[in-house]
Chains A and B, each alone.
Chain A
Amino acid sequence: MILPVSFNLAIGSLRAHRLRTFLTTLGVVIGVFIIALILVLSSSLHASIARQATKMNDNILLIRSSGDGTTGMEAFSPLRVANATILTERDTIATSKIAGVKNVASMMFLGGIAESSKHSYNNITTIATNHDFPSVLGLEMISGSWFSEKEIDRKYVILGEKLASGLIETNQAMGQVVTLKNQDFTVIGIIKTTGQSISLAGVDVDKAAFISLMNGARFTGGTVEIGQIIVRVDNQDNLEKVKGEIIATLQHDHLDDSEFMVRTASEIAGATAGWLATITTAALIFASISLLVGGIGIMNIMLVSVAERVREIGIRKAVGATRRQILEQFLLEAMLMTLGGGLIGVALAYAVGYLIALQFSLPLVFNWWIFAVALGVPLLVGLIFGLWPAARAAHQDPIVALKQYH
């Protein structure tokens, strides 16, 4: 083993072909960048989900519609929260009467345009809910207050802090008029930033507008179509008991018990994590293809490099380089390229991941294993795709090789 020597030789040869080295490495950079970015974002989302399952939320139950016939945990996919709306206000009231239930928030998901005198936003999540919503979710207000039970007929709106600062200046938003789907609402409160883009509410509270259910019904022709009911139980020990009673109560009112789902917050976090793992795996498989292409690029260039340097190989062999030393030199060259690509790729992934995390209020997580994967996988790629060209170099016949002229 003459690794230090091979290392110097490999570095020297890579430096001699800077542009080629850079372009070849680019393929690996892109592959590793995509893979590392997926891992970074997935672990950020994972951390975000884990935050939901904190003590704050361990006595929460969620009831969601599964009206389109979907069964199982699919109903809790963050992607389809807003779709099914079989639950009614009657269910909310029935649930709130069950012993052990502290309070209940029902949610109606509405989309649409939000306008202020200054700005206009297209796809704003508007949620129609009841007066208990902030206490169920443990939300804090930075100014104003939530509408009371008596104010549900008033055209009031409460804004998430980010939306408020987007539409109007946060400190000037109070009392301003905001137009939601062509109806004017007065801002009476602003919710303090939660910093959680994934929450049990199923939406990013910081970017949503909240109105009363009665106001929400104006947009749907008078029907209150509830997508989700959040139930806070007074004691965590009662969680399973209350869950059973809710199911019994709702089954009484609904003909088909596949129309709704009741889950605890931790079950949902688990389900979301599972869903996330599936998406991550799928994404990683596709990203691996780009790394494979990068690896083929490395192999291609290494083969060109070997063909171009046949005489150099001949000279090296003539002065006493063994096959193994030649193999090491070329293999190291390939592996240094992929390792360098991995380093750049993972650095870029964290840079971009940071920007995305900032944009979507996700926590940025530094996991040692992401670095291990982002550097280990390219090393392996370099080893696999560099081996054949290196073996070809090592098996050059020095006599033939020395006859090659430039």
Chain B
Amino acid sequence: MATTRESTDSDSLVQPTAGQIFFAAPTGGDTPVIELRGAEKVFGYDDTATTALDGVDLVIERGEFVAIMGPSGCGKTTLLNVVGLLDRPTSGDYLLNGRNVAKLSASRKARIRNREVGFVFQNFNLIQKLNVLDNVTLPLTYQRGLNFRHQQKVSTLLKTFGLQNREYYMPYQLSGGQTQRVAIARALVNKPSIILADEPTGNLDSKNTEIIMDELTRIHREDNTILMVTHNPDLLSYASRVIHMKDGKIVRDIELTKNKAHATATKFVSRRKAVRGHRRSIRRLAGRSKK
């Protein structure tokens, strides 16, 4: 029965309506996690000015797994930086959990980043001198006040990633997949509103890619919101929504599956089976978008 539903979903993907949001409101959420209104980002001045974001409107509800695709220089990373509060839009509004954060001071943005955003990078970005435990604890250390239960909390978290025996390993002693799992654990440790992943599998082989995507899927299933930039069309099958960008604009916004339905479905069906159907349709989709 579940298989049937999957195929139905897949079929519906063949004729998506760009920009349309057609799934149920997020669980318990009245306000979207992310809301960009006419976000613009211009680098440089006058003649040398480059527009990285050209009036982006984007709403991401809680529990979505959004993949962003597009050619290099289309503004994907800038979008991620703006959403992650590392960068501020030149104009436009950015509401994070309903609160306008576009014009906050650097230190207030840092505090929000600390609590609401988790980053996963292509090159992992662990601090090489710190062990696994300390790397994952890092976001907690920047919270006000001392919490001596940090270590226990982090240990429990690492266990869910199968890294309980790697706590005192240094980053260079880990495989690429393990390193990225540590980085994901770090992104999750503060229970952020959104996880931003910039090519999270870009430096990994296919086996580790699968491992990492499985982790992200698991996290997604636990009702986390994920925004992932990728070049790899294979990964789109994991997402619940795909956004295509070009020249700083969102040119296509496709809902792949109903968030809730996807989560429930994958609980019952072997994930591989469930995904296989997705992949086929997505390859078709990706192929078309290239043309």
Contacts and interface: CB of A to CB of B under 8 A. Distances in A.
Given A311-B125, A402-B125, A405-B123, A321 B142 contact: yes
Interface of B: 81, 84, 86-87, 106-107, 110-115, 117, 119, 121, 123, 125-130, 134, 138-139, 141-144, 146, 186, 190
A317 B115 CA distance: 12
B86 to A, nearest CB: 5
A323 B119 CA distance: 18
Contacts of A311: 125
Nearest to A398: B86
Contacts of A320: 110-115, 117, 139, 142-143, 190
A325 B123 CA distance: 24
A312 B86 contact: no
A323 B107 contact: yes
A5 B130 contact: no
A2 B144 contact: yes
Contact of A324 (B107, B119, B127, B129): B107
Interface of A: 2, 4-5, 8-9, 12-13, 16, 311-312, 314-325, 398-399, 402, 405-406
A322 B86 CA distance: 12
Q: Which one of A2, A13, A314, A322 has the greatest number of beta carbons of chain B within 10 Å?
A: A322
B107 A318 contact: no
Nearest to A9: B141
Contacts of B117: 320
A319 B87 contact: no
Contacts of B129: 12-13, 16, 312
Contact of A322 (B87, B107, B139, B146): B107
11 contacts: A2-B141, A5-B141, A13-B129, A315-B126, A316-B127, A319-B138, A319-B139, A322-B106, A322-B142, A398-B86, A406-B128
Contacts of A324: 107
Contacts of A2: 141-142, 144
A325 to B, nearest CB: 6
A323 B142 contact: no
Contact of B121 (A8, A16, A402): A402
A403 to B, nearest CB: 10
Contacts of A318: 84, 86, 113, 119, 125
B130 A319 contact: no
A399 B106 contact: no
Given A317-B110, A322-B106, A12 B130 contact: yes
A402 B125 CA distance: 8
B127 A312 contact: yes
A16 B123 CA distance: 22
Q: Which one of A2, A9, A311, A319 has the greatest number of beta carbons of chain B within 10 Å?
A: A319
Contacts of B121: 402
Contacts of A399: 81, 86-87
Contacts of B143: 320
The 6 residue pairs across chains A and B that have the minimum distance between CB atoms: A320-B114, A322-B110, A319-B139, A322-B107, A16-B129, A320-B113
Given A13-B129, A399-B86, 6 more contacts: A2-B142, A311-B125, A317-B86, A320-B143, A324-B107, A402-B121
Contacts of A8: 141
Contacts of B119: 318-319
Contact of B114 (A314, A319, A405): A319
A398 B113 CA distance: 12
A9 B142 CA distance: 11
A322 B111 contact: yes
Q: Which one of A315, A320, A322, A406 has the greatest number of beta carbons of chain B within 10 Å?
A: A320
A319 B142 contact: yes
B111 to A, nearest CB: 7
A395 to B, nearest CB: 9
A402 B183 CA distance: 14
B127 A315 contact: yes
Contacts of B87: 399
Nearest to A312: B127
A334 B139 CA distance: 23
Contacts of A12: 129-130, 134
A324 B107 CA distance: 8
Contacts of A319: 113-114, 119, 138-139, 142, 186
A215 to B, nearest CB: 76
Contacts of A9: 141
Contacts of B190: 320
A324 B139 CA distance: 15
